[in-house]
Structure 1
């Protein structure tokens, strides 16, 4: 089995949460291997050949006994990965691993996380439904208003970040609210986050596990929960406690 290249200025680990992505996972891993010291795939209780396909492709595989959600899978991958720099990418083939170098280049010493923004870049035809586009825009507006932020794509799963920055954060999300949970935890810790444009491709195989109504509501609750927690801490600080 070929070994991934080791000559990296920084130790980079790619973390791929995957659930029933056997048709696409090998190509995603192959695209990532040239840009990282290791690729870690977290098989989130898949019913297909995802784990075996990932292992055959040279990834280190973490197997969850049952489907626990993207948040659990990503957190398991973070724990298993050894790199000081982490790259998150989904296993469905909708993000281009060839854009990983651009994420890493933008992760300068002053930056803690780089988000690959689909809204600064572009969605290829069929890459997003009208409902999901509208929902994402609405939730982004709420987040930017409540946190006085200027983020175009807070829910993007394609990103690079420093483990040291993440170590200061408590992550709570279990499912598709994990991306916004990571973002808000980092911002709350004073991290610097930037975005670069990326391309989002349509899903070629299978179906997304995202439920627009259920997961949209969960994301909204995560935003509100983080904001309420921030307000509680402000009040405690104002009282001197």
Structure 2
């Protein structure tokens, strides 16, 4: 029987822990539960100490991704479940993820339905991320940014150094698994409203810009050339049409045409080099995992 570890990153969510920890203990009495206190200033530690859990304390807030990495480093389970502490993820839904893992998947993500989106704007953004990621990997990505997932620990740790410290760790680990050829599955889960007294740590404008950058990071992380080539091609086609226009109008090759042609070549070469660098990164990551 596989040992299960449940990693819960938390920051000032003592109220949520009071609800989910006793339920988790009741459902999984023999499982390892790890609460990562990411610089909380409330009673997070006091609440966690009431239950048989492993507590990891950050002296200051490092971010959601950093908390996940801290939990991964000490987790002993064969399968690791990551979930939020604000009451949005239901402990009973873990069973759905584990059943899918037993079917041979390396990672299973709890995909939020329409009711689970925080608001219309965030729901639209998530759709955009999912669409772009699906195009990049050639498979349907149902929920790219969900923090509720079950992962085989040995494969999760292969990409530990690639994970960012902030909120984009789900994006990074999902694309890394697709890039490595691992099996990624999805199950639909109900996401509850955030508990009263808890608040999102995502800042609308600052993190909104960061999430837009994630879209480009997805491309460069998975297959840079697939992102750079269409951009290069668009510059090249524009250059051809502009050159045709200026040749007909003035009978000469203009500086703008030269600039567009040069830009298309530079962008293509940047994509080619990025592709090689990305391949080397994954090769080194897999080699390090094999040695362990």
TM-score range relative to shorter protein: 0.7 to 0.9
Q: Which residue of 1 aligns with 2:101?
A: 107
Q: In structure 1, what is the Cα distance between the partners aligned to 2:47 and 2:64?
A: 19
Which structure has more relative contact order (CA 8 Å, sep 6+)? It is 1
Q: How many corresponding residue pairs?
A: 225
Q: Does 1:67 align with 2:61?
A: yes
Do the aligned residues in 2 keep the contact of 1:25 with 1:54 (CA within 8 Å)? yes
Shift of 1:29: 1.5
Q: Bigger CA drift: 20-29 or 228-237?
A: 228-237
Contact 1:72 1:173 in 2 (8 A): yes
* SS of the residue 2:162 aligns to: coil
Q: Distance in 2 between matches of 1:189 and 1:29?
A: 34
Name the structure 2 match of 1:144: 134
**Deviation, structure 1 residue 42:** 0.2
**Structure number with larger C-alpha Rg:** 2
Name stretches of at least 5 consecutive residues in structure 2 with no aligned partner. Answer: 225-272, 280-292
1:54 corresponds to 2:44? no
RMSD between aligned residues: 1.9
* CA deviation profile, 1:48-69 (whole Å, cap 9, x unmatched): 0112211212221100000111
1:185 to 171, 176, 185: 176
> 1:132, 1:212 within 8 Å by CA — same for their partners in 2?
no
Question: Is 1:132–2:122 an aligned residue pair?
Answer: yes
How far is 1:180 from its partner? 0.7
Q: Per-residue displacement from partner, 1:109-167 (whole Å, max 9, x unpaired)?
A: 52100001113xx526xx61111111111222222223323111111111101011112
How far residue 235 of structure 1 moved from its aligned partner, in angstroms, is 4.4
Report the Cα distance in structure 2 between the residues aligned to 1:147 and 1:41, rounded to whole angstroms: 33
More helix by share: 2
Cα distance in 2, alignment partners of residues 138 and 111 from structure 1: 25
CA deviation vs aligned residue, 1:194-241 (integer Å, no higher than 9, x gap): 00010011012221111233223323323423422433464477xxxx
The structure whose residues are more often strand, as a share, is: 1
Return the TM-score normalized by structure 1. Answer: 0.86
Q: Which residue of structure 2 lines up, in the alignment, with residue 154 of structure 1? A: 144
Q: Could you say which residue in structure 1 is the equivalent of 2:237? A: none
Distance 1:67 1:50, change over 3 A: same
- Runs of 4+ in structure 1 deviating by more than 6 angstroms, as ranges, are none
1:217 aligned to 192, 209, 212, which one? 209
